[in-house]
């Protein structure tokens, strides 16, 4: 069974993004299969791992972003995972085993705009999706 580690801290600029990206990279380097799920509306971890060009495409279209699991709600987590996310300039895989569920700026709407089924809150939808890939 997969082990889940959550990194949460309300304080700004304390090293959350640096910690999560480097812990994920170290675990992958040590041979673990790692799925980093980015829930930060600032998207810094996603931009760091994808680099700006690849992330921009997701941010512009919304396709492949974690928010698409909730709105329009048709995507499944298994289909938006970016496998072996870290790539070099020629597209070569630099860190096999580190996968990413990318986020985009519109993820902020989950808190403010999203009206879902009250019987299926966002965290339930996410857990159901995660169970499909565990
Ligand atoms: N262990 C460390 N030692 C020194 N500087 C660090 C360390 N970890 C992170 N930093 C630096 O501290 C700054 C903030 O780090 P980071 O962006 O990871 O924090 P954050 O908590 O994710 O910030 P935000 O709240 O803006 O999302 C960055 O400039 C980063 O390079
Ligand atoms: Mg951060």
Task: Give residue 92 CA to ligand 2 midpoint distance, Å.
Answer: 26
Any domain includes 106: yes
Query: Ligand 1 — pocket residues by CB below 6 A?
Result: 12-18, 42, 44
Any domain includes 28: yes
Any domain includes 6: no
Domain containing residue 96: CATH number: 3.40.50.300
Please write the tens of the pLDDT for every residue from 120-134: 999 999 999 999 999
Any domain includes 95: yes
Please write the tens of the pLDDT for every residue from 31-44: 999 999 999 999 99
> What residue's CA is closest to ligand 1, atom 31?
18
Task: Give residue 47 CA to ligand 2 midpoint distance, Å.
Answer: 11
Sign of CA dihedral 68, 70, 72, 74: positive
- Domain count for the chain: 1
Q: What is the pTM of this model?
A: 0.95
Q: Please, where are the H alpha helices in the chain?
A: 16-29, 44-50, 52-61, 77-80, 109-112, 122-133
Range of the domain at 23: 16-133
């Amino acid at each position: 069974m997969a082990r889940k580690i959550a990194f949460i801290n309300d304080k700004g600029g304390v090293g959350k993004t640096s910690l999560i990206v480097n812990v994920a990279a170290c675990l992958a380097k040590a041979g673990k299969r790692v799925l980093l799920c980015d829930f930060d509306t600032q998207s810094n971890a996603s931009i760091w791992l994808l680099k700006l060009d690849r992330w921009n495409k997701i941010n512009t279209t919304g396709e492949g972003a974690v928010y698409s699991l909730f709105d329009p709600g048709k995507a499944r987590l298994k289909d938006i995972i970016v496998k072996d996310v870290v790539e070099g300039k020629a597209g070569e895989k630099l860190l096999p085993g580190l996968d990413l569920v990318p986020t985009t700026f519109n993820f902020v709407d989950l808190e403010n705009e999203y009206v879902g089924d009250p019987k299926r809150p966002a965290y339930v939808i996410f857990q159901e999706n995660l169970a499909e890939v565990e």
